[in-house]
Amino acid sequence: MKAALFEKPNVFNVVQRSLRPLRDGDLLLKVEACGVCGTDVHIVEGTSRSSPPVVLGHEFAGTIQDAGTTHFVPGQRVAVDPNVACRRCFYCRRGLVHLCENLRALGVDIDGGIAEYCVVPESQAYTLPKDFPVHAGAFVEPVSCAIHGIDRANIRAGDKVLILGGGTIGLIMLQLAKNAGAARVFLVEPLGHKRELALRLGADEAIDPKVTDVHALIFDATGVGADVVIECAGRMQTAQQSLELARRGGTVEFFGVCSLGETFPIEPNKVYFKELTIVGSYVNPHTFSRSIAVLASGTVHVDKFQLDRFPLDGVHEALTMQREGKTIKSIIEPQR
Ligand SMILES: [Zn+2]
Ligand SMILES: [Zn+2]
């Protein structure tokens, strides 16, 4: 079959690749749609961890062709949770499957979904409702991660929430924050087309940091700073800024994926004095079925996103558009 194989930094090509044999409990999936995200860009550039050679693609859904289990039948459509926990380490036994010491992910360590077919352990497959749109299948994973982020951010009714970064994740977070009861949501994003989309998706203000003093605007609008700041850009500058933009007693969440090894200076006295809560949010523990429910109900609109669909051979263009922010989401449809 054809698959997009990552071999080493900057060596990433569509090649012929054989599938691993189907074992008991495995499903053979014909991939309908697989999203490309910032993590894929980081992996290809060598700034994010992975286990090459490996087929990339961790945001995907498809139709079962063959099942080494009785729990699924051929013809069923499923979305795939890429994160495979060992279920026996200290963290797994505490229910913290995302912190598993042996966590491996489809599309990062195990062959993933930017391919015509993928072999998936049945534990990772979630049945999709009838009529679930093909493109939405590529959003189940990112929305599941954002739901974990919203849970961790502990937004309360009436909160004023600031989101730094209006890419796919920022635009999903914006909608989830509104749904969680935020009174006002501010979104900071330098690209105009993403700001316009943010406003259509319910942002109260979409701020261009190139022309507006974000700090002055947020303090004018709130008087005290944001109750919750969610960093979705994965940049040092916005990560550092987030600590300044939160109010005393506020919460700062680092959600955006920064490059490995990048750092910024922090003044502990400010964290102490402002009594800030700083939280991380990593992947999607137990949020996958909630993500399907959110997408099926239409309370998060991914249909309004600018989507760019590519066949497998268009994977480089898909990656470039994602890297340069020219699309909200590049989606690979391997059967095209
Ligand atoms: Zn992703
Ligand atoms: Zn484990």
Digit-coded pLDDT (tens) for 5-58: 999 999 999 999 999 999 999 999 999 999 999 899 999 999 889 999 999 999
Give the helix/strand (H/E) hosting 280.
Answer: strand 277-280
Q: In angstroms, what is the span from residue 40 Cα to ligand 1's centroid? A: 7
Q: Is 326 within 8 Å of 303 (Cβ atoms)? A: no
Say which residues have a Cβ less than 8 Å from residue 88's Cβ, sequence separation at least 6: none
C-alpha distance from residue 179 to each of 56, 163, 232, 278 (Å): 32, 15, 18, 22
Q: In the prediction, which pLDDT does 151 show?
A: 98
Q: In angstroms, what is the span from residue 91 Cα to ligand 1's centroid? A: 23
Range scoring the smallest mean pLDDT among 141-150, 286-295, 303-312: 303-312
Ligand number with the minimum distance to the CA of 140 = 1
- Residue-wise pLDDT for 220-258, tens only, equals 999 999 999 999 999 999 999 999 999 999 999 999 988
Q: In angstroms, what is the span from residue 37 Cα to ligand 1's centroid? A: 5
Q: In angstroms, what is the span from residue 269 Cα to ligand 1's centroid? A: 35
How much of the chain, in percent, has pLDDT values that exceed 70? 100
Alpha carbon distance 73, 86 (integer Å): 25
* Residue type at 153 in one-letter notation: A
Q: In angstroms, what is the span from residue 192 Cα to ligand 2's centroid? A: 42
Do the domains at 2-139+302-332 and 146-280 have one common CATH topology? no
Closest CA to 71 of 124, 118, 111: 124
Ligand number with the minimum distance to the CA of 98 = 2
Ligand number with the minimum distance to the CA of 91 = 2
The catalytic residues are: 39, 42
Closest CA to 56 of 124, 125, 9, 102: 9
Please check the confidence at residue 259 and state whether its pLDDT lies above 90. no
Q: What torsion do the CA atoms of 106, 107, 112, 116 make, to the nearest 10 degrees?
A: 170
Closest CA to 14 of 317, 330, 266, 284: 317
User: Mean per-residue pLDDT for 126-139?
Assistant: 95
Q: In angstroms, what is the span from residue 94 Cα to ligand 2's centroid? A: 9
2-139+302-332 fold: Quinone Oxidoreductase; Chain A, domain 1 (3.90.180)
Alpha carbon distance 327, 332 (integer Å): 13
Q: In the prediction, which pLDDT does 206 show?
A: 98
- Residue-wise pLDDT for 186-230, tens only, equals 999 999 999 999 999 999 999 999 999 999 999 999 999 999 999
Enumerate the domain spans of the chain: 2-139+302-332, 146-280
User: Mean per-residue pLDDT for 90-95?
Assistant: 98
- Give the start-end residues of each E strand in 171-225: 184-188, 205-207
Q: In the prediction, which pLDDT does 306 show?
A: 87
Burial class (CB in 10 A: 0-12, 13-18, 19+), 134: middle
* pLDDT classification of 325: cutoffs 50, 70, 90: confident
Domain at 146-280: CATH code: 3.40.50.720
Report the sign of the C-alpha dihedral through residues 116, 119, 121, 122, in that order: positive
Q: In angstroms, what is the span from residue 38 Cα to ligand 1's centroid? A: 6
Ligand number with the minimum distance to the CA of 87 = 2
Q: Is 159 within 8 Å of 227 (Cβ atoms)? A: yes
